[in-house]
């Protein structure tokens, strides 16, 4: 089901790229856009994790360089029934984390140095479990696909702005239509991206709470990250805002409540859902050694 959903999303975004090319430069633009979309599909499938990690300056760690963190990830991956993902540290002081990779066998998990400094171990476990939930739900490829295509559509529109000629006969909408597409096409891609993000976060919270066995750990982590992220910027995320929806909490300095263009659901709503989950669980799972 997850594979079908991702395939449909890639097909839909490919069609959107082609329509943008058609509206901006006629048939030649549509062909060029389709070629770009095909290249993006291949690139995202094979290199999604490496591209995103490189954008954020990630450094891989292992049992020698980060023994406690790696042990926690191994234990939680075992609980989730997943292969142990590769583990990376991000240089940002902002507490945050994300997962990436095309499938559970090629997954990578990245946490910021700020997260490890600011959160107690149980809350770190809750964050790791949330990201492993994204891996288990196979969200990671879908998340990267939408980010890549949103950026590509914006790039096509910007190129059209600078490389247009006086001859608009190949453009069925003319100058006004082209300007509208430059605005509306990136907007449409971002709406798709944000809608996916908001839905998947609630589900990853639920599954992550089941993995770590303590919904309140994740609830406390979300509240702490939300508060601290407002005080600390994330330079790499600000430079590459199309990746913002990958993080557990929006890394950009934006309004933190449910709106059409918010990358995440409102943190209080997520926390409330986790607290209801904790209250409804008659027998919480046995916590791990990090409790």
**Residues 126-181: pLDDT tens digits?**
999 999 999 999 888 777 776 666 666 666 666 655 555 445 555 555 555 556 55
Assign 257 a pLDDT band (cuts: 50, 70, 90).
very low
Determine the Cα–Cα distance for residues 265 and 258; give it in Å rounded to an integer.
5
> What mean pLDDT do residues 260-276 have?
86
Active-site annotation holder among 60, 68, 131, 226: 131
Whose structure tokens read 């589900």?
203
**Per-residue pLDDT, 140:** 84
> What mean pLDDT do residues 4-20 have?
66
**Per-residue pLDDT, 57:** 95
**Per-residue pLDDT, 255:** 45
> What mean pLDDT do residues 200-211 have?
94
Assign 212 a pLDDT band (cuts: 50, 70, 90).
very high
For the chain, what is the mean pLDDT? Answer: 80
Does residue 131 have an active-site annotation?
yes
In the predicted structure, residue 73 carries a pLDDT above the cut 70: yes
In the predicted structure, residue 4 carries a pLDDT above the cut 50: yes
Distance of CA 170 to the CA centre of its chain: 37
Rounded to 5 degrees, φ, ψ at 112 are -85, 155
Least Cα distance to 12 among 145, 138, 139 occurs for: 145
Q: Which residues of 174-195 are buried (b: 16+ CB within 10 A; e: fewer)?
A: eeeebbebbeebbebbbebbbe
Determine the Cα–Cα distance for residues 249 and 178; give it in Å rounded to an integer.
35
Least Cα distance to 23 among 185, 182, 155, 178 occurs for: 178
Q: Which residues contact 149 (CB under 8 A, 6 or more apart)?
A: 10, 13, 14, 16, 17, 37, 40, 189
């Amino acid at each position: 089901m997850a594979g079908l959903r991702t395939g449909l999303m890639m097909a839909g975004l490919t069609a959107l790229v082609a329509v943008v090319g058609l509206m901006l430069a006629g048939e030649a633009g549509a062909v060029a856009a389709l070629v770009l979309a095909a290249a993006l599909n291949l690139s995202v499938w094979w290199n999604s994790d490496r591209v995103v990690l490189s954008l954020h300056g990630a450094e891989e760690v292992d049992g020698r360089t980060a023994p406690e963190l790696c042990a926690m990830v191994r234990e939680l991956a075992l609980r989730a029934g997943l292969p142990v993902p590769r583990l990376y540290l991000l240089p940002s002081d902002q507490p945050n984390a994300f997962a990436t990779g095309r499938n559970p066998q090629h997954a990578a998990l990245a946490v910021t140095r700020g997260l490890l400094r600011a959160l107690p171990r149980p809350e770190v476990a809750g964050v790791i479990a949330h990201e492993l939930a994204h891996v288990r739900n196979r969200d990671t490829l879908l998340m990267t696909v939408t980010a890549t295509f949103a950026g590509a559509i914006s790039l096509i529109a910007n190129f059209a702005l600078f490389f247009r000629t006086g001859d608009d006969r190949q453009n069925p909408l003319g100058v006004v239509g082209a300007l509208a597409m430059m605005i509306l096409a990136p907007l449409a891609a971002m709406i798709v991206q944000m809608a996916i993000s908001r839905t998947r976060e609630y589900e990853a919270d639920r599954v992550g709470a089941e993995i770590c066995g303590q919904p309140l750990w994740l609830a406390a982590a979300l509240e702490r990250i939300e508060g601290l992220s407002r005080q600390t910027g994330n330079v790499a995320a600000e430079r590459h805002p199309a990746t913002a929806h990958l993080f557990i909490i929006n890394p950009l300095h934006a309004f933190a409540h449910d709106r059409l263009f918010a990358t995440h659901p409102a943190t209080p709503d997520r926390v409330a859902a986790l607290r209801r989950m904790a209250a409804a669980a008659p027998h919480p799972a046995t916590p791990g050694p990090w409790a």
